[in-house]
A and B are shown apart, each in its own frame.
Chain A
Amino acid sequence: MNKLAWFYFPARLAWRQLVFDRTKLVAAICGVLFACVLVFMQLGFKDSLYASAASAPVKLDGDLFLMHKQSEAMWRPIQFKRSELMRVLGNPAVAEAYPLYLGLAPFKNIKTRVKRTLMVYGFDPDSLIFNVDEIKSKRVELRLKDTVLFDEYSRPEFGPIRQLLETGQNVTEINDYKVNIVGLFRLGVSFAADGNVVTSDLNFMRIFPKRNHGDIDMGVIRLHPGASIKQVEAELKNQLSEFINIFSYEELLKYEKDYWANTAPIGFIFGFGTVMGWVVGLVIVYQILFTDIANHRNEFATLKAMGYEHSYFIRLVFASAFFLAILGFIPGYLLSLGLYHLAESQMYMPMPMLLSKMITVFMFILSMCVVAGLLAIRKLKDANPADMF
């Protein structure tokens, strides 16, 4: 009872004072809600960026990956010699090694004839290096001349490809080269490319006439079952030219993510936006708590004269901060949920509302309110009964 009363009574008074002035309460909730939505959106965009940046490597089916050391990320690769990749076959643990060709090229919208850049992936269809069922099942068709598969999750600006295919319109141009779309698959857009197309290595050379088989963008290596990836990676590192980076699957994902987080300033921008949301929310909550204490100064001084201790009012201020955090978070969460859905359906960006993100943002909002409370309790000193009566 004693322990309960210690926090219950000031919290109850804080609650009664909060709900007494509805207008001010609504304004206060809006302030917290604003910060909450801002933080949710910034974190959502950031995570979405990382998720989409890694959408292509996530689907790659391999144990080890080679890239040129000068390649900043998969979307802007530097070519290296195919012979360099083939050298890894000398290691007894290596089962297969396949080249992957990458290129950005304009894709002509079949209907509007507007060209927009997308990412073209070229590889041997039999290598099955993309772990996507629609691609695997179309490997026979991909072996034909001038055939491509189109990513259904590409931005709508490329045209309603699914409907067009159903009506038999499947001819378009990539890099001013005429191709047939023979099917669809699902991968997802990234900040680097608005759409994706996969094709065979031979067709890739036709689309990009200046490229040749000998210069590859990535190498995908599969090991024999049971081989230690770490050990083979270390062995290959010594054998390969110093211009080549070798990654395990996880390392490749991290390399791609880190590029967007650090090299591209986008990670910083969203991080900065998150912090700004926190600061703006802090200032709003601080202002609310501060004026609240100023308005209740007389009442607090009265309670002090009745024998209430100073610490009671500190608990009261923190209880107010806590209530504001919760009352602002709930509508903030619901609004963000709606905005996430909007972003997913309208911008084709993956923005899942994860429990971990919910907890992160709530902790963010709570810490914001607690710091605001810490700043505001100084004002309690003004509630001195001797000066008031």
Chain B
Amino acid sequence: MSPGPGDLEAIKQLKARYCRTMDTKDWQAMRALFADDVRVDTTESGGNVITGADEFMRFLREAIGDVTTVHHCHMPEIDLTSPTRATGVWAMEDMLRWPDGTEMHGYGHYHETYEKQADTWRIASSRLTRLRTDFGGDPIP
């Protein structure tokens, strides 16, 4: 089969694994989804710009390790720009509940690039932009 449809499906599954491993806190499996030098920009979600998969995993475990999280992604727009490169935009919704009862419900988009290394697609860069972020819940004083 020529490159194209199979690669699109592989990139959709890559992003599905991103959400599932994050929400189930399967950090080892999640690490394998990123290029080693991945650039992740979560500035609009209270984070910053991080370069390096190990550094991002450390940030994420610290930020949401004890938080119940639900991330759903929708409506991918994926472009294959070469046999080993692709770009993608995903609509996203997330729901978070911290141990103290604080809740967050947000909507936004992931803007990403992907690269194929040794027959495997990985996330090369990711920037999360926000449409809206609602906070609620009853934090324990």
The answer to whether A and B come from one shared complex is no
The interface of chain B, by Cβ under 8 A from chain A, is: none
Residues of A within 8 A of B (CB): none
